[in-house]
Amino acid sequence: IEGAIKIPTVSVSPEDLNTTAMAEFGNYIREVFPAVFSSKFIQHEIVGKYSHLFTVQGSNPEMMPYMLLAHMDVVPAPPEGWDFPPFSAAEHEGFIYGRGTLDNKNSAIGILQALEFLLRRNYRPRRSFYVGIGHDEEVFGQKGAMKIAALLEARGVKLSFLLDEGSAILDGIIAGVKKPVAVIAITEKGSITLNFTVEKEPGHSSFPPKETSIGILAAAMSRLEQNPLRNLFGHGPELMTMEHLASEFRFPLNLIMSNLWLFSPIVSRVLAWKPSTNALIRTTTAVTMFNAGIKINVIPSSAKATVNFRIHSAEKATEVLETVKNTVADDRVKIDVVEAFDPLPISPWDDQTFGVHILQRTVLDTFPDVDSVVPGTCIGNTDSRHFTNVTNAIYRFNPLLLKSDDLPRIHGLNERISVENYEKQIKFLFQLIKNCDIDKLPEPHANSHEL
C-alpha cells in the first residue's frame, strides 16, 4: 500500500485527472502482484484507458459470480496542515499517513494483495468473481466504473452481489453503543445540484435600489437553510439500522429502540440534532458556492449560488426540486439543474440473500469484537451506483475499524490507516473469497442475547 500511496492519482474534475500517475499505478500493480498478472485463470483488461477489470475464472462455472470494487483516484491534498506530506506514505506510531489510505487505495491494493496471497498458496477459487478498480470515482466515475459496468452488461453478466466502499465498522461513533458495530450500507443517497441566479440592473452604490441581486439571493438561500426538507425517519433503511442495533444500546436506549412503534417521533427529533445523524433521516441542504459583486461602489448585475441536496431514499429528485421552488417562492430567482440522480434501490437484507450471509459471516470471522452486523445508508456516493443493471445486491462496506476522529480525515487532513487495520482488511478480503466458495454456509455464530 505504501508504494501505491506515493503515486499522486489525483482527480480534480472529469477533465482534470493526473493521468500520468494513473498509468504509473497500472505499472505498479503489475510489478507488485506478479501472481495475479501471470495466473492462467485471471484475465486482465484496461477499461477507459486507466481503469482495471480482472476476471477471475472459478473452477465451477455453475456458481453465480460476484464482484469486488474499489478506486485508485484520490481527492487533492494540499500539504499545508498535514503532519507528514500527503503522498509520502510516512509510517508513524503504527499508522501509515497519506491521501488514499482510507479512500480508497486500501481497498484497491487490499483486494489484489488478498488475491496474490491466495494464488501463492495455489488456491483456485471455485466461484468466479470480478475485481474492478476505477480511476475517476471522485469525479462521478463516468470513464471508469461506468464503462466497466457497461462492459459486464454487454457480456450478459449477472452478479450474485457486489461489494464496494461506503460504510465501515464504527467504534464509539454511534452514541449509546459501546461495542464496535459493522454497518453495511444497502443504499446510497441520491443527489441534485441546483444553480440559483438573480439578474438585476447594475447601478452606483450611492443610490441603491431597495433590494439588490445579492440581497434577494441571500434571502432565498436563508429560506432554504431555515426550512430543511421533511424528516423521513421510518421511511428508509435508518429504521432497520436502529431496530437491528436495539440490543446493543445501553439502558434505557435499548428499550426505546426496541419499541420504535411508540418512540419513533422522539428518536427522529433526537437524530435531527447532529449533522451526522440528521443526514440519515432527511434530504440535506448544503449551500456550497456563492458569487456576486465586482467593485465596492457598484451594485452588481447578478448574483449566483450553488446548492447541493443529498436525497433521502424515500424521495426523488423531482420532488426535491418542487419543494425547493416552493420554499424559495420568488420568481426573480432563476433555478437551473446542474446534475441530478435519484437514491439507489435498497439492496436485500435477509439471511436468504447470499451476499448478506457472506458478509455477516466474514465480518464475524475476522473481527471477533464485533457482535452486530447491521444495514445502513451511505450518505456519500460510490462507483457501485453504476452497476444496478448487473445486480440488485449492492453492499457498501470498507472492512476497517473507524473511530470518530478518523471520519474528518477522509478527504481531510492527516488521512491515515493503522498497519493493524490494513492487515485486518486483507484478512477480511482473503476470508471473503474463501467463504464465497462454499455452496451453502453454516449459520453465523449467534450472539448470546439472540439465543
Q: Is the pLDDT reported for residue 218 higher than 60?
A: yes
Give pLDDT, residue 384: 98
Phi-psi region for residue 64, left (φ > 0), alpha (ψ -120 to 50) or beta? beta
Residue 26 confidence (pLDDT):
98
What pLDDT digit, counting tens, does each position of 301-347 carry? 999 999 999 999 999 999 999 999 999 999 999 999 999 999 999 99
- Residue 105 has a CB neighbour count (10 Å cut-off) of 28
In the chain, % of residues over pLDDT 70 = 97
DSSP 18-34: -HHHHHHHHHHHHHH-H
59, pLDDT greater than 80 = yes
Q: Which residue has the cell 496474490?
A: 116
DSSP 8-class letter at 17: E
Q: Is the pLDDT of residue 448 over 70?
A: no
Contact 199, 300 (CB under 8 A): no
The rounded distance, in Å, linking the Cα atoms of 232 and 223 is 20
**Percent of all residues in the chain with a pLDDT value above 90, rounded to a whole number:** 90
Q: What is the pLDDT of residue 352?
A: 84
Report CA 74 to chain centroid distance, whole Å. Answer: 13
pTM of the predicted protein model: 0.92
Please say if the pLDDT value at position 227 is more than 50: yes
DSSP line for 68-80: EEEE--B----ST
Kindly give, in sequence order, each residue whose CB lies less than 8 Å from that of residue 410, ignoring residues fewer than 6 positions away.
102, 103
**Residue 377 corresponds to which cell in the numbers above?**
445508508
- Taking all residues of the chain, what is their mean pLDDT, rounded to a whole number? 95
Residue 447 has pLDDT above 50, yes or no: no
pLDDT of residue 215: 97
> How buried is 199 (Cβ within 10 angstroms: 0-12 exposed, 13-18 middle, 19+ buried)?
middle
Q: Residue 444: what pLDDT?
A: 55
Beta-carbon count within 10 A of 5 CB: 25
CA proximity to 310, closest of 166, 190, 398, 228: 190
In 113-157, where do the E strands start and end? 129-134
Interatomic CA distance for residues 147 and 49, integer angstroms: 10
Place of cell 431597495: 210
Residue 147 has pLDDT above 80, yes or no: yes
pLDDT band at residue 449, thresholds of 50, 70 and 90? very low
pLDDT of residue 451: 28
Region 379-403 average pLDDT: 96
Mean pLDDT of 177-197: 96
Average pLDDT over every residue of 410-430 = 97
Catalytic residue ranges:
73, 137
Mean pLDDT of 71-79: 97
Q: Is 21 exposed, middle or buried (0-12, 13-18, 19+ CB in 10 A)?
A: buried
Q: Supply the pLDDT for residue 442.
A: 60
- How many Å apart are CA 21 and CA 288, to the nearest integer? 29
> Is residue 169 predicted with pLDDT exceeding 80?
yes
Split at pLDDT 50, 70, 90, the class of 154 is: very high
186 pLDDT more than 90 = yes
Q: In what helix (H) or strand (E) does residue 280 lie, and over which residues does it extend?
A: helix 275-281
pLDDT number for residue 438: 87
